[in-house]
Structure 1
Amino acid sequence: MFKAIFTNSFGILFSRILGFFRDLMTASALGANIYSDIFFVAFKLPNLFRRIFAEGAFTQAFIPAYAHSNNKSLFSAHIFLIFLSVILVITLLVNILPSLATQAIAVGFDAKTVAIASPLVAINFWYLPLIFGVTFLSAMLQYKRHFATTAFSTALLNISLILALYLSAEKSHAEIVYYLSFGVVIGGILQLLSHVIAIHQLGLLKPLCSGFKHLGAKAAKIKEESKKFKKQFFPAIWGNSTPQVSAFLDTFLASFLASGSISYLYYANRIFQLPLALFAIATSIALFPSIARYIKNHDERKARLYMEKAFWFLAYLLTASTIGGYILAHEIIWLLFERGSFNAADTANSAFVLQMYMIGLLPLGLQKLFLLWLYASEQQMRAAKIATFSLAFYIISAITLISYMGAAGLALAGTIGGFAGFILTVKAFGVKNFFSILAPKKVLYLIVGSVLFTIFIVVLKGFIDK
């Protein structure tokens, strides 16, 4: 278990280091202004659809269904063609009507800004079909317990964007965002090629091609399997889309705030996502195939044992990350971004947003772990209901807090929604089962360790500030 977690974590860390270097270069080149806002909006739209249709929902519905399938090559080929067709239609519509897509995610933009952003949205959206191919192949690799390719492949996107920034160093802001947009598409192509090579090396490419070849003649064999997958997938879409809907609403509401607010949310969220991805997401990806197999084989005892080990692993790491990230928020933003066009005011605003995000790191991270149980048990509908309540808490909080706290209020609203989602997920997992994990001795160690670590971070902050 831990080998797979560390493989994911190291790959994610490597990619995120490159990502922060990319963000550092972006902040220096563009700062926090209308052009940075335009690029982040253009890049956010395909990412919104990617996370809804591809990564989370697809993987969590596909792996259990793939595990149960008696005709894996036919089943995988059938599902791939259905999803790719839908995604290509969406991509073509966005390229035909890019201004409508831009206005949908950034209503606060004026007509001139929409005109500038629209062609960039159209270019960036071609990343979506490419990354769906990556997600599909990575799900097959995960089933075979191969995690390294997917974990490290995001680095290819970041390398592509870094090269785009390097090549556009002497260009205007308007030209830089075009270089970045084409860099996104090239990065997607590189990611897809790396996954094609990986499945070929593992002997999965030939069976998949065989599935495409015989799909027409043998489609009846997978009719029931496909029907069951679709039944599980659509609730999974909603369950996984609520964080993305929240991100969409963040951008929508922030577009009415002062210029740069979208960028403050972006930079702060990038830092917040590091421990979330490095620990919680890496652990969830590594555990999911095993948990799905154990539940399929009716071995809940072993599945719960894996859950307990992962819980304490995450509890210690996420608590430490929360304490460090909250107390040192200003220093982290200053160190990473304050240079070039990114000034001291941008640092202060981004740091406040980061603190509001960090409050929700522990519940959001642990919720991902407990959601594994629901998805592996094919309880996607229950997970979708939990996500709906979480989104409702976010919307109410966002509308209430935005007028008082601006962009930071939107971040805090996401945290409140995260707490609500965690409580409801624990209830679905079973309160009794949850408390059986909370060994008193380990809880005491966590409390004492948190107090000592807080003292250390406060002392470190005082030393840095001198």
Structure 2
Amino acid sequence: MSDPNKGLFFMRFGSIFTTSAGILTSRIFGFVRDLLTASILGANLWSDIFFVAFKLPNLFRRIFAEGAFVQSFMPTFIVSRHRSVFAAAILLRFSFFLLAVSLLVTLFAPLVTKLVAIGFDEATVAAAAPLVAINFYYLDLIFLVTFLSALLQYKEHFATTAFATTLLNIAMISALLLFRHEPPQTIVYALSWSVLAGGILQLLVHLWMVRKKGLQRVILGGFAYLKRKKGAIDEDIRRFSRAFFPSVMGNSTAQLSSFIDTWLASFLASGAISYLFYANRLFQLPLALFATAASTALFPSISKLLKQEKREKAKGHTKKVFWLLVGLLGGASMVAWILSAEIVALLFERGAFKAADTANTASVLAMYIVGLLPFGLAKLFSLWLYASHRQAEAAKIAAKSLGVNILLSLLFIAPLQAPGLALASSLSGWVLLFLSVRAVGTPLFFDIMRSKHALSALLFILLSAAAAWGIKALVHGYL
């Protein structure tokens, strides 16, 4: 007789790899976008200005899309007796709030720009402020996308969200190609408007899939009964609110670390922000491809299993995914650390992006890679905290990790420059992992460590390192 649990687990792996395939497709287009950006804009004042303008909405996009909203919304949605009404209430509250914030950013764009890049002089702030205002409206669009993706994830449909980010990259690639012969100022304005165009395309494809899955009834039904049953969801709203704000902090450590890097790098020489951006893009690829994909696909089932008090089944799923991530992230770390200069040169060194830019970006990438494994594994362990409604505890852990990052950044920025900021971020990732494991419980961690999959994961890491050294030797003529 077939084991239904085994079949369910393979379905979960199918969701992981579907999500990974979507993320990989998006990141391939993203690298094409970055390649064109590096070639057309290079690493200079105008590229720094655009990356600052895009940094704030992109920060919130990653926080929303990669956990905070879904990990707060999903457990409450699952247990709510009036799911449609609860969903409609959350949609309205967030939409009005974010629109109001976007309008304020538009009105006070120079002040917001100065806060994001405090090291910019007045002329640079004036040039960047309109771009900050334009780009920020992407956040309104991406919230709607994230809300719809949460409903699709409840139905365990992940492909649309995974592949949809490709549309943003296609829009930005189109802008770069159409305006490649224009002055840099015109190019960054075209890029900014293309960000909004990409957000609209993502929203449209999610609306189409929601209708295809019949989920529009959840939203429309919720609006129809919202006034009548508003009091019935008060406890659901409170439960969501208690979970959401800690979840924002708990999910944002890597993103806030990158944001702090940009903030501090504005004090460094021109191009430093761009080096951090290009290196962080490479760092985020395996993190999103493996860790984010795994946590996104695993979270609905972990939430349901823990709600049903099926802890052993949840632990079994976690154990297998843990060693899968150790192997994949460990192998990716070896390859990226050994071949950092070769990877950056292959992807970016052309046009306005020179050999010196390659060397600077590679040194930053090598420091970021130190934190790949801990940031990825911390995502996995944090699932248990969020699924158990322990968001506040996750937030405290993230705050401690972020504090370590800020302290180390201040210590490292003078002697090590931009690579020091990346190293501070990576070391804070190890603090995040240690504290997350301790919160979930060391017995669970040691049980996970005792697995037949451990040897396979370690062997894969060693083979990856050997292959990377072999490639490096061939490239430089040592073999």
Give the TM-score category using the shorter length.
Answer: over 0.9
In structure 1, distance between residues paired with 2:407 and 2:235: 41
Question: How far 1:224 sits from its partner (Å)?
Answer: 1.1
Is the aligned partner of 1:84 residue 2:95?
Answer: yes
State yes or no: 1:195 paired with 2:202: no
Q: 1:344-399: CA deviations, max 9, x gaps?
A: 00000000000001111111111101111110111001101110110111111111
Distance 2:46 2:275 in 1: 13
Take 2:415 and 2:178, find their aligned partners in 1: how far apart are those partners?
41
Matched letter for residue 193 of structure 2 = F
Unpaired segments ≥5 residues, structure 1:
none
Distance in 1, matches of 2:73 and 2:155, equals 13
> Quick one: which of 284, 296, 302 aligns to 2:295?
284
Number of the residue aligned with 2:128: 117
Equivalent of 1:309, from 301, 305, 320? 320
CA distance, structure 1, for counterparts of residue 66 and residue 90 of structure 2: 14
| Alignment counterpart, residue 42 of structure 1, candidates 28, 34, 53 | 53
- Given that 2:254 and 2:375 are in contact with CA atoms closer than 8 Å, whether structure 1 keeps it comes out as no
Is the contact between residue 55 and residue 135 of structure 1 (CA under 8 Å) also seen in structure 2? no
Distance in 2, matches of 1:136 and 1:431, equals 34
Displacement of 1:232 = 1.3
Residues 17-56 of structure 1: pairs in structure 2 closer than 5 A = 17-52=28-63, 55-56=66-67
Per-residue displacement from partner, 1:303-351 (whole Å, max 9, x unpaired)?
Answer: 1011011001111111110000000000000000000000000000000
> What residue number does 2:340 align with?
329
TM-superposed CA distance for 1:458, in Å, is 1.0
Structure 1 partner of 2:150: 139
Partners of 1:33 and 1:168 in 2: CA distance:
18
Matched residue SS, 1:145: coil
User: 1:382 aligns to what?
Assistant: 393
What's the TM-score once normalised by structure 2's chain length? Answer: 0.95
The aligned amino acid for 2:324 is F
Paired residue total: 466
State the alpha-carbon separation in 2 of the partners of residues 127 and 341 from structure 1: 28
Q: Which amino acid aligns with 1:273?
A: Q
Q: What does the per-residue CA deviation read over 1:406-428, in whole Å, with 9 as the maximum and x for residues that have no partner?
A: 11001000000000000011111
Question: Does residue 1:181 correspond to 2:192, yes or no?
Answer: yes
Residue 6 of structure 2 corresponds to none
**Secondary structure class of the residue paired with 2:395:** helix
Matches within 5 A, 1:359-398: 359-398=370-409
Alpha-carbon distance between aligned partners in 2 of 1:456 and 1:49, rounded to the nearest angstrom: 37
Task: Kindly provide the amino acid, as one letter, of the partner of residue 458 in structure 1.
Answer: W
Q: 1:65 aligns with which of 76, 79, 95?
A: 76
Partner of 1:428: 439
Distance 1:298 1:170, change over 3 A: same
Letter in structure 2 aligned against 1:288: F
Distance (whole Å) between structure 2 residues aligned to residue 327 and residue 465 of structure 1: 13
SS of the residue 2:228 aligns to: helix
Tell me the equivalent position of 2:5: none
How high is the sequence identity, in percent, across the aligned residues?
A: 54
Structure 2 spans left out of the alignment, 5+ residues: 1-11
**How much has 1:36 moved relative to structure 2?**
0.4
**Aligned to 2:267, what secondary structure does the other structure show?**
coil
Partner of 2:139: 128
Counterpart of 1:451?
462
2:19 corresponding residue in structure 1? 8
Residue 242 of structure 2 aligns to which amino acid in structure 1?
K
C-alpha distance in 1 between matches for 2:116 and 2:187: 22
Kept in 1: contact 2:175–2:194 (CA 8 A): yes
Q: Offset of 1:441 from its aligned partner?
A: 5.0
Distance 1:413 1:109 in 2: 22
Query: What aligned pairs does 1:87-98 form with structure 2 within 5 A after superposition?
Result: 87-98=98-109
Q: Does residue 228 of structure 1 match 2:251?
A: no
What displacement does 1:449 show? Answer: 4.0
Contact 1:12–1:151 (8 Å) recurs in 2: yes
How far apart are 1:25 and its partner, in Å?
0.4
2:113 to 90, 99, 102: 102
Q: How far off is 1:55 after superposition?
A: 4.5
In the TM superposition, what are the counterparts of 1:347-366 in structure 2 within 5 Å?
Answer: 347-366=358-377
Partner of 1:206: 217
Letter in 2 for 1:212: F
Describe the shift of the 1:445–1:211 C-alpha distance in structure 2 as closer, same or farther (beyond 3 A).
closer
